[in-house]
């Protein structure tokens, strides 16, 4: 089931029906639930699906939905209690990591499915490791009582915002938060452009900042003045290029971590060499994009 997670019709989002002044627009506090509730519903739907569906797509959708929630809570952080906001964002990250452990194996398997990777002999062991990770992911998510945690997070944040004495116009608020995300991305791109090619952390920070901005544009584009299409296209390019780099870096780390248990099931060292060469190629591609900023 595909939802329009976080996006709102421009008229309803701004609260500016024909003939009415912009002053009728809702406050950011009042609008929060209209963004958060569909995201929580998506996350609950995907968490339920993972119990029955072991496919890479189900886990990917769950992890993305939790990341989107984390970004939304970051967006509303100035209006929420600091400690509680940090706690909720940490919760979303924990749940996303639980789903991500299996997803990381899926990405590695997809990468090594390429003919020239030389990983044919490793595949049975990788699939077995993936199955074990899936069992742990399902158990962790089940024990966490995702439904209760997410509904409590939504209820708590909504209650805090609805009882706040001050109100900020939605458009003014989201413009500030999107601008903050843009500045963060620009800063990290400059830092990565100056960093050594071996400094993957700087590149990883670009990816995270780009992802956050992309989610905020998805949420708030109908409310913002002017078109965000050029910014959205640029962020999508960053996500694609830096996401491809992250896939191979994470896969290389995962394979090294489990190399001992995979020993004898194939030429692990040769596959690691292939991943190393692929990492360098993708690092060059990411660096080239930084130079074009």
The 10s digit of each residue's pLDDT in 26-42 is: 899 999 999 999 999 99
| Per-residue pLDDT at 11 exceeds 60 | no
Q: pLDDT-based confidence at 251, cuts 50/70/90? A: very high
Q: What is the pTM of this model?
A: 0.85
Residue-level pLDDT at 190: 94
In the chain, which residues fall in CATH 1.20.120?
A: 26-167
End-to-end CA distance of the chain: 36
Mean pLDDT computed over every residue of the chain: 87
Q: In the chain, what is the greatest distance between 2 CA atoms, to the nearest angstrom?
A: 73
**Phi (first) and psi of residue 169, to 5 degrees:** -55, 140
Which CATH number is associated with domain 26-167?
1.20.120
Owner of token pair 């805090």: 160
CA 58/CA 100 separation, integer angstroms: 11
Q: What is the DSSP letter of 24?
A: G
Residue-level pLDDT at 29: 95
Tokens found for residue 18: 């024909």
Tokens found for residue 262: 């995979």
Q: pLDDT-based confidence at 122, cuts 50/70/90? A: confident
């Amino acid at each position: 089931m595909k939802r329009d997670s976080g996006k709102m019709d421009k008229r309803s989002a701004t609260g500016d029906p024909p003939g009415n002044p912009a002053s009728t627009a809702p406050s950011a506090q009042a609008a929060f639930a209209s963004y958060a509730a569909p995201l929580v519903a998506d996350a609950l739907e995907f968490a339920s699906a993972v119990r029955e569906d072991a496919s890479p797509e189900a886990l990917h959708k769950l992890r993305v939905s939790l990341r989107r929630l984390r970004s939304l809570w970051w967006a509303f952080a100035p209006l929420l209690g600091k400690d509680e906001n940090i706690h909720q964002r940490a919760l979303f990250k924990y749940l996303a990591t639980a789903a991500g452990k299996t997803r990381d194996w899926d990405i590695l398997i997809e990468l090594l499915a390429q003919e020239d990777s030389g990983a044919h002999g490793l595949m049975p062991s990788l699939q077995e490791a993936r199955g074990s990770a899936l069992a742990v992911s399902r158990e962790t998510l089940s024990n966490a009582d995702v439904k209760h945690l997410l509904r409590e997070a939504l209820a708590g944040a909504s209650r805090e915002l609805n009882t706040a004495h001050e109100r900020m116009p939605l458009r003014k608020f989201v413009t500030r938060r999107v601008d903050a995300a843009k500045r963060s991305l620009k800063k990290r791109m400059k830092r990565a452009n100056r960093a050594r090619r071996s400094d993957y952390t700087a590149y990883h920070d670009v990816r995270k900042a780009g992802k956050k901005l992309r989610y905020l544009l998805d949420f708030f584009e109908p409310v913002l003045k002017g078109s965000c299409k050029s910014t959205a296209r640029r962020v999508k390019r960053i996500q694609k290029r830096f996401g491809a780099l992250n896939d191979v870096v994470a896969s290389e780390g995962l394979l090294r971590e489990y190399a001992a248990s995979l020993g004898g099931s194939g030429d692990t060292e040769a596959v690691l060499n292939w991943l190393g060469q692929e990492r360098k190629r993708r690092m060059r591609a990411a660096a080239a994009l930084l130079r074009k900023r």
